[in-house]
């Protein structure tokens, strides 16, 4: 079973597939939303990015702005 089959709700969010700009204290990052996860911290966006150690990163939906 794929991740998408196991957690289909993460792939149904209206932002999935949209290009966004994430504004952080350290700067900005742009990418396409792969999935949106509901967590104890609120909705987090997965852009497929990783930190320097290879760990996946997620960003608050509140920090994302849809771009063309």
Query: What pLDDT, on the 0 to 100 scale, is given for residue 10?
Result: 95
This prediction has a pTM of 0.89
Query: What pLDDT, on the 0 to 100 scale, is given for residue 24?
Result: 87
- pLDDT tens-digit series, residues 18-52: 999 999 888 899 999 999 999 999 999 999 999 99
Where are the chain's structural domains? 3-66
3 state SS of 4 = helix
What are the phi and psi torsion angles at 62 (to 5°)?
Answer: -70, -20
State which fold the 3-66 domain adopts.
SH3 type barrels. (2.30.30)
Region 4-8 average pLDDT? 94
């Amino acid at each position: 079973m794929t991740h998408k089959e196991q957690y289909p709700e993460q792939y149904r969010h209206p932002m999935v597939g949209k290009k966004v700009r994430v504004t952080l204290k350290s700067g900005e990052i742009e990418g396409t939303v792969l999935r949106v996860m509901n967590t104890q911290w609120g909705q987090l966006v997965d852009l497929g990015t990783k930190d320097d150690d290879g760990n996946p990163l997620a960003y608050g939906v509140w920090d994302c702005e849809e771009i063309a």
